[in-house]
Structure 1
Amino acid sequence: MEIPGLVEITSHDELRDVVPQPLAAAAGKARKELHDLDRQWLTASPFCLIATSAADGSCDVSPKGDPAGFTKVFDDTTIAIPERAGNRRVDGFTNILSNPHVGLIYFIPGRGDTLRINGRARIVKEAPFFDEMIVKGNRPQLALLVEIEEIFHHCSKAFLRSQLWKPETWEPDAMPSRAQISKTLERQDTDLTELEQYYGKAYEEKIYNVKY
């Protein structure tokens, strides 16, 4: 796509002409092992995003959530994340099979800062620790085992700019409902009333009652 007036950056030097070198505190904050504060963060976090990229460069970012503390910490460099049944696309897992590098961002609701972890992942289909990941009777069928290579905390600027955690800025009705989006884009042959029932209260009640 041609955009009139567009000026593209194509080299590292051009980028650094716009963005100066980071301050020493930012440049040196990455670590290779979990600190006790990182462990506390993982204990308090109920949600993370997992970024992956296939060997051909195609990307995916997948949300993962469970009760706070859902990520199991084995030692200073190893964590595991349970996988719950979803839409069966397994885009991120497919990427990991050809490129094990992953990027994780852990959130704590109401906090603007985040915990970032980069590492190498393996897909596990059975392990004794699965028994420790049971939620409402649901034992995961898969888990992601991550060997940490880099870890650091990120500041809250993006959350402050977006006012993400301020309820007075929330507009959940700014978009059509999930049922309406599904009817328009994914399930055109399904009755809207049926979709509204599917994505209603019962949807939340059954999220741990499904398997692949």
Structure 2
Amino acid sequence: MAIIDSHEALREVIGEVAELTQRKVIDRIDEHARNLIAHSPFVLLATSAPDGSCDVSPRGDPAGSVLVLDEKTLVLADRPGNKLIDSFRNIVDNPHAGLLFLVPGMNETLRVNGRATLVSDGPFFDSLVVKGKRPTLAVVVEVQELYMHCAKAFLRSSLWQPETWPDRSTLPSLGTIMRDQMSLAVSAEELDARLNERALNQQY
């Protein structure tokens, strides 16, 4: 393998960044970003531990659930999950975080980098209520970098084109995967039934 181990070597392969690309990075939530965040029901939260190990966690809520408090601050509610709290442990130890907002059917994505803080209460918590459930935790992000990411990855992957999607029946169910990976003495069908019931009844 030809290993790249310096910034200089990397630039030799990739080339220099265009001036227009550099200028697209801003340090605030402008009206366009606010609009996209309001229409995004799905965001990826990336964090890292002090030792450099990383975690990316999917976050989903009805569009408009991510709060924009001002041009520098946004808030994501936490919802019931697997309790591994990888992202939260990372934030406590290392506040740097990255967000990737997706809007269904839109090939461009909104990228946000900033400093994250984990909070258990605040004046905005009542605004985070969904289906009558108030979150017990939220992530407050101070925006340091914000920019639009172009459509190339989504165009290459044809992500929003159903005709390119695999036949779901050809893929293993979550129950099958868990049974095999964990060597569980229970049928995949039973596991799927439990998982589906939990997903439907414990969303919030």
TM score, norm. by length of structure 2: 0.95
Between the aligned partners of 1:187 and 1:75, the Cα distance in structure 2 is 49
Match of 1:191 among 178, 187, 190: 187
1:3 aligned residue: none
How do 1:113-192 and structure 2 match up within 5 A? 113-171=108-166, 172-186=168-182, 188-192=184-188
Cα distance in 1, alignment partners of residues 142 and 19 from structure 2: 26
Matched, 1:52 2:24: no
* CA contact 1:100–1:122 (8 Å) conserved in 2: yes
Q: Compute the RMSD of aligned alpha carbons.
A: 1.3
1:104 equivalent to 2:109? Answer no
> What SS class does the counterpart of residue 126 from structure 1 fall into?
coil
1:84 equivalenced with 2:88 (yes/no): no
TM-aligned CA deviation for residue 198 of structure 1 = 1.6
> Are the equivalent residues in 2 in contact too, given 1:31–1:152 (CA < 8 A)?
yes
Alignment-mate amino acid for residue 194 of structure 1: E
CA contact (8 A) 1:138 1:208 kept: no
- Give aligned-pair identity as a percent: 43
What's the offset of the Cα at 1:203?
3.9
Matched, 1:39 2:13: no
CA distance in structure 2 between the partners assigned to 1:205 and 1:38 by the alignment: 31
CA contact (8 A) 1:100 1:121 kept: yes
Q: TM-score, normalised by structure 1?
A: 0.91
> Which residue identity lines up with residue 67 of structure 1 in the other structure?
P
Structure 1: any 5+ residue segments left out of the alignment? 1-5
Q: Distance in 1 between matches of 2:26 and 2:130?
A: 31
- 1:187 deviates by 6.2
Whole-angstrom CA distance in 2 between matches of 1:187 and 1:148: 43
Paired with 1:173 and 1:25, the residues of 2 have a C-alpha distance of 45
One-letter amino acid matched to 2:186? T
Deviations 1:131-159 (A, max 9, x none): 11111122111000000001000001011
Residue 203 and residue 170 in structure 1: after superposition, are their counterparts in 2 closer, same or farther (change >3 A)?
A: farther
> Which portions of structure 1, spanning 4 or more consecutive aligned residues, are displaced by more than 3 angstroms?
none
- Please report how far the alpha carbon of residue 204 of structure 1 lies from its aligned counterpart in structure 2 after TM superposition: 4.1
Q: C-alpha distance in 1, partners of 2:161/2:38? A: 24
State whether structure 2 residue 19 is matched by structure 1 residue 24.
Answer: yes
